[in-house]
């Protein structure tokens, strides 16, 4: 029994001799790793401090530049305010003479075409001879005013529609349909559809009082207006 106890003691002593160096080595490794982490963090901290200092320096330079530019801008404004104002004189362009049968005021050039020439009473279908009239108008518009907008506006007299009242709600409806018919024919004759505007005024913008046959004939018309949209 005593012999067994001595053997066990010997084994434990040998184990202690073996384990103590192993534990010591593990502890040393742990300390070494911790020191490496500390060194790494210390390096990162120094790098961040350096970058922060550079950023603050750049910010100071940017602020100084912004202040300098603001001072220059203020100086320019003061000089501009102190300088005598010069009013630019508009350059007057010679006004081109309107073609025969056309009228001109400012940027508007227009002509009237009697609807008695273009349409039968109460109708919005062109007469046989109307095409030649519109052909001449389109030729003038294309040669003299190729870049202008073209407004086509129908007008009537104040007489209520009788023979064709089943076709139109009123004179306004008739005038608009007549203007549209003229526009469609002008498309076919070569005018750019994108530049044409169509409207109807019915009896509401007469040229003369609707009190005589002659005046009523003047009021039954389609206006063709060339509008200069440039400055």
Where residue 180 falls (left for φ over 0; alpha for ψ -120 to 50; beta otherwise) is alpha
Query: Percent of the chain having pLDDT more than 90?
Result: 55
pLDDT at 65: 55
Going by C-alpha positions, the residue among 172, 221, 226 that lies closest to residue 197 is 226
Predicted confidence (pLDDT) per residue in 164-178, tens digit = 999 999 999 999 999
pLDDT for residue 196 is more than 90: yes
Q: Cα–chain-centroid distance for residue 81? A: 34
Predicted confidence (pLDDT) per residue in 101-158, tens digit = 999 998 899 999 999 999 999 999 999 999 999 999 999 999 999 999 999 999 999 9
Distance CA 110, CA 113 (A): 10
pLDDT band per the 50, 70, 90 thresholds, residue 5:
low
Residue 36 contacts by C-beta under 8 Å, 6 or more apart in sequence? none
């Amino acid at each position: 029994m005593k012999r067994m106890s001595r053997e066990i003691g010997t084994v434990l002593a040998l184990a202690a001799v073996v384990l103590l160096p192993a534990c010591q080595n593990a502890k040393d490794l742990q300390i070494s790793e911790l020191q490496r982490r500390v060194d790494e963090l210390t390096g990162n901290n120094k790098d961040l401090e350096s970058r922060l200092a550079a950023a603050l320096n750049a910010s100071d330079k940017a602020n100084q530049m912004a202040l300098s530019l603001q001072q220059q801008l203020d100086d320019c404004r003061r000089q501009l305010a102190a300088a005598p104002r010069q009013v630019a004189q508009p350059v007057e362009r010679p006004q081109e003479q309107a073609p025969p049968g056309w009228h001109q005021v400012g940027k508007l050039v227009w002509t009237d075409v009697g609807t008695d020439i273009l349409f039968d009473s109460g109708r919005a279908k062109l007469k046989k001879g109307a095409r030649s009239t519109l052909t001449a108008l389109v030729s003038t518009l294309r040669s003299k005013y190729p870049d202008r907008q073209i407004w086509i506006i129908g007008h009537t007299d104040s007489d209520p529609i009788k023979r064709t009242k089943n076709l139109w709600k009123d004179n306004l409806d008739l005038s608009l349909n007549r203007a549209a018919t003229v526009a469609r024919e002008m498309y076919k004759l070569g005018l750019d559809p994108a530049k044409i505007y169509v409207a109807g005024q019915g009896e509401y913008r007469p040229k003369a009082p609707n009190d005589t046959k002659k005046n009523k004939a003047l009021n039954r018309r389609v206006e063709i207006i060339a509008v200069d949209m440039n400055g």
